[in-house]
Amino acid sequence: MVFSKHLYMVILSYILLIIAVAGAGIALVITHTALILGSLLFIFSLFLIETLVKRLNKFNTKIRIFLDAVEDKENMILFNEQSADKEMNALSHSLNRINELLATTKSQSRIQENFYYSLLEEVPNGVLAWSSEKRVIFVNGAALRLLGVKPIIFLRQLEEQYPALKDFIAHGNVEDSFLLQSNSKKQLSLSMNRMKLNSETITLLAIKDISNELSEKESESWSKLTRVLTHEIMNTIAPIVSLSQTLSLRPGTDEKVIRGLGVIREQSERLMEFTESYRRLSYMPEPKKKRFSLTDSLHNLGLLLQSDFENHIHFILRSTPSDIYIEGDEKQLSQVFLNLLKNSMQSLEGKTDGQIEVTLEVTDKLYIKLLDNGRGIPMELQEKIFVPFFTTKTEGTGIGLSLCWQIIKRHGGNLYLQESGQGRTLFVIEWPIVPFIPK
């Protein structure tokens, strides 16, 4: 208890003493027995009242200061517990104890809050929260990275960059989901939720990158289609090749017929070779992984293509650290890098100052970046470059980049076009497993 029985007895004694002294003084004045003494007793009773009020006000003042500090969230206040007044010391001790408990609770709450903030920063999905005034309360790094924006304070900063998002926020329901293409061409799935917090409505927006899921589904569909087509085409063409060869060997066959059958056989065989290239896309073997030096492998590819670079293409290989080892199928990965390098070389045709730069960087992942200063890929075609059978080349098959994408995916990585324009095209491979770096 803040107030002890002793304090109650003191207050009661003061009250009884004030009543006794004041009553005696008033009685002496009224009866005219001793006017001066009665007046002095009455004045003394007033002094006792003032003393009691001051004593009680000290308690009230100290409690009010404590409550004001609590309201202002100030827990550095400390009351003196070493005064001559035991009751005041007891009150100060109790208030200091309460203040200490509040400070401990506040510290634990702050630690827990920091833990949840750190936890939200580590999740791969984006989280964005704002108040009813559309002021951003929280946004994690994943949300900024997925949306491709800088730190924001108000929601309108995001709505200006994504007008479609503004309509979803204004009219979307909490059970709805919304697909949004980010500025970096990523496919994002958005879902929204609302909650009441201290009588204020807080809106939460969850952001998930589903580009890989969509790409994998699309790739799986293309693979199934390719298997069916190649199977049917091969089954149809094989008898034609065999029959044309048999007929051309029959005695007495006209010379023109033989030449015609030869043309049929050659075209059929060419079509079978063409179909076989597509079959490789759908029946690609599992990678045979082993540890090898990625830096050396890329260096050797540069030497292999040196004659093709001639004098108009400058090849640069940068590796930080200088030698990086990874686990993977070296033959398959060499095919990926060879295809990417040849694509860069074709984009540099006609340039006298061509440059291809391959950079290896190790941070949280291994990033393999291939940059060239060629003519770039038109904006309207950038979304289609990894689609099987799509090509802009007159003699292309449309499986090169698609095959590269599948090989990297089978190794657990990710291949994407980060940017492309006149004079700058950048392909990036993200390798999720921490590479081995020899000492």
Q: Kindly write down the DSSP assignment for every residue of 34-92, as one continuous string.
A: -HHHHHHHHHHHHHHHHHHHHHHHHHHHHHHHHHHHHHTT---------SS-HHHHHHH
Distance CA 191, CA 125 (A): 11
Distance CA 98, CA 104 (A): 10
Distance CA 66, CA 78 (A): 9
CB contact at 8 A, 49 and 73: no
pLDDT for the residue numbered 438: 58
Mark residue 42 as left, alpha or beta (left: phi above 0; alpha: psi -120 to 50; beta: remaining): alpha
The CA-atom distances, in angstroms, between 30 and each of 17, 19, 20, 23, 27 are 20, 16, 15, 10, 5
Q: Is the alpha carbon torsion for 282, 285, 291, 297 positive or negative?
A: negative
CB contact at 8 A, 415 and 428: yes
Q: Which residue, chain included where needed, has tokens 């100060």?
A: 92
CB contact at 8 A, 229 and 246: no
Reduce the DSSP state of residue 402 to 3 states and report it: helix
pLDDT for the residue numbered 1: 43
pLDDT for the residue numbered 2: 45
Question: Nearest 5 degrees, angle CA 413-CA 414-CA 416?
Answer: 160
**How does DSSP assign 201-258, residue by residue?**
EEEEEEEEE-HHHHHHHHHHHHHHHHHHHHHHHHHHHHHHHHHHHHHHTSTT--HHHH
pLDDT for the residue numbered 220: 60
Distance CA 310, CA 356 (A): 13
Q: What stretch of H or E contains 259?
A: helix 255-282
Q: Which residue, chain included where needed, has tokens 């697909």?
A: 179
Q: Which residue, chain included where needed, has tokens 């990417």?
A: 340
CB contact at 8 A, 146 and 126: yes
Distance CA 14, CA 37 (A): 20
Distance CA 102, CA 124 (A): 35
pLDDT for the residue numbered 30: 83
pLDDT tens-place values along the chain, 439 residues long: 445 666 677 778 878 888 888 888 888 878 877 778 878 888 888 888 888 787 777 777 888 888 887 777 777 777 788 877 777 777 788 888 888 888 888 888 888 877 877 877 777 888 888 888 889 888 888 888 888 888 888 888 888 888 888 778 877 665 667 778 777 667 788 888 888 877 788 888 888 887 666 556 555 655 665 565 565 566 666 677 677 777 677 776 677 777 776 777 776 766 666 666 555 555 567 888 899 999 999 999 988 888 888 778 999 999 988 889 999 999 889 989 998 999 899 888 888 889 999 999 988 789 999 999 988 888 878 877 877 666 666 555 556 787 888 888 888 888 888 888 888 999 999 987 655 555 5
> Can you list the alpha helix ranges (DSSP code H) found in 371-421?
400-410
What is the length of the chain? 439
